[in-house]
Amino acid sequence: MNSIPLDHTLPLSPSCPRSVVIYDSIDADGRFLLHTFASQVLKSTTKRSTKQRVLWVSGSPTTPAQIATGLRKIGCDAATSYLRRCGSAVRSSRTSHDDDSQETFQIRSLAAEIAEWMAQQHDIPANDDTPGNTDAPDIPKWDAEDFMKHVYRDVKRWSQNQSVDPSTMNDNDGDGNDADEGVRDYPNWLIIDDCTALANLVGSRLTFQFLQSIVAHATKTRTAPFGVLIRCSADVDQRLARQQEKENSGSSNATTLNLGWIGGGGPTHPDITNTTSRLRSILCWERAVSEIVDGVIDVAALASGYSREAHGRLVFTEVPGGRGWNVSNEANDSSSNRLQVINYCLTDSGVRAIRLRGATN
């Protein structure tokens, strides 16, 4: 099998702060992309004195220990250090993001925070003689909007709480222009894992507004730039794409290569049938996330099913009006930034990428 490590083919670079959404489905989970890129960022940090930090915000039931263990299995030393700090028990997310603001790798589990808050409310001691129990501890009622505002303020504080190394300032022009004084060459990265699961806890409206605020802050900040990697579910849209492939008899491979962005059905649509019309009528808030980011990565299952050599397909698309991937270094200027479609294979040592013929611009 002619394959290469996945991180060698990603058009996204740790040195270019971009906002990217990953669309996956129940047939093809895309969390391995988050692990691969986070490991790439943290490994590149060890090769220079400048410290890049990664904040992993999880909205799924996956525990921080499970996330860090997955990173450790692919050789991420920062994940090993995180597990060593936490010990054998899972660290409480309510205090970890305040105490370890300068740590290289942090994980914050929003689902665990919500569960902890709910447990505190249910554990209030009841007084049989006094129905109101005025002596009970004053624990505020959990409010989803206040909670997401608090999370946004913490993320904003995390992004601003980064020291700038004078040796990494953007002074390469030599023209005396200090407009970019204090800007880091190596940005930090925020990973928001499974926004669909988070929307089930706090609602789709609050989740989308949270993503809008995060991406807007990441885009407009100059002294402390950071990239955003978002993972959402696209089960409905991938079902729509598969239905379109079935309607195009005998041309499923060509349709997949030319489809581009899978979310929302892609740029081209065949004749609408009852099935595709019904699928499109389902309103998915996740579709709108692609309008606020720079790039879209679709993780799709193969139409032919799983095989030993390939487990799925990745489709990379630059969003019109976005900043693009912006991979400008000479090492990646040959093929990786033009790559649109690749197959991938999950192995014990990591993820392997298989380039497809005709999958470049």
User: Which of 164-168, 205-209, 284-288 has the least mean pLDDT?
Assistant: 164-168
CA 313 to chain centre: 17
How sure is the predictor about 257, in pLDDT bands with cuts at 50, 70 and 90? very low
Please name every residue paired with 347 in a beta bridge, in sequence order, or none if there are none: 350
Q: What pLDDT, on the 0 to 100 scale, is given for residue 233?
A: 87
Q: Give CA separation, 116 vs 119, 144, 199, in Å.
A: 5, 14, 18
User: Which of 2-6, 23-27, 126-130, 145-149 has the least mean pLDDT?
Assistant: 126-130
Q: How do 188-193 and 54-58 pair as beta strands? A: parallel
Statement: residue 137 has pLDDT above 80:
no
pLDDT in tens, 44-71: 765 555 678 999 999 999 999 999 999 9
Distance from C-alpha of 350 to C-alpha of 223, rounded to nearest angstrom = 34
Instruction: State the DSSP H helix or E strand holding residue 189, giving kind and residue range, or none if neither.
Output: strand 188-193
Neighbours of 131 (CB within 10 A): 7
pLDDT in tens, 66-85: 999 999 998 898 999 899 88
Distance from C-alpha of 248 to C-alpha of 288, rounded to nearest angstrom = 27
- The full DSSP string for 253-291 is HHHHHHH---GGG-S------HHHHHHHHS--GGGGGGG
- Looking from the CA of 9 toward its CB, the CA atoms found within 13 Å total 23
Overall pTM > 0.85? no
**Tokens 């995060």, located at residue:** 214
The domains of the chain are located at: 4-121+141-163+183-235+287-355
Distance from C-alpha of 154 to C-alpha of 207, rounded to nearest angstrom = 16
Enumerate residues 6+ apart whose C-beta is below 8 A from 276. 240, 243, 244, 247, 265, 269
Classified by CATH at the fold level, domain 4-121+141-163+183-235+287-355 comes out as Rossmann fold (3.40.50)
Residue from 309, 344, 352 nearest 5 by CA? 352
CA 119 to chain centre: 29
How sure is the predictor about 123, in pLDDT bands with cuts at 50, 70 and 90? low
Phi, psi of 315 (to 5 degrees): -120, 120
Q: What pLDDT, on the 0 to 100 scale, is given for residue 52?
A: 86
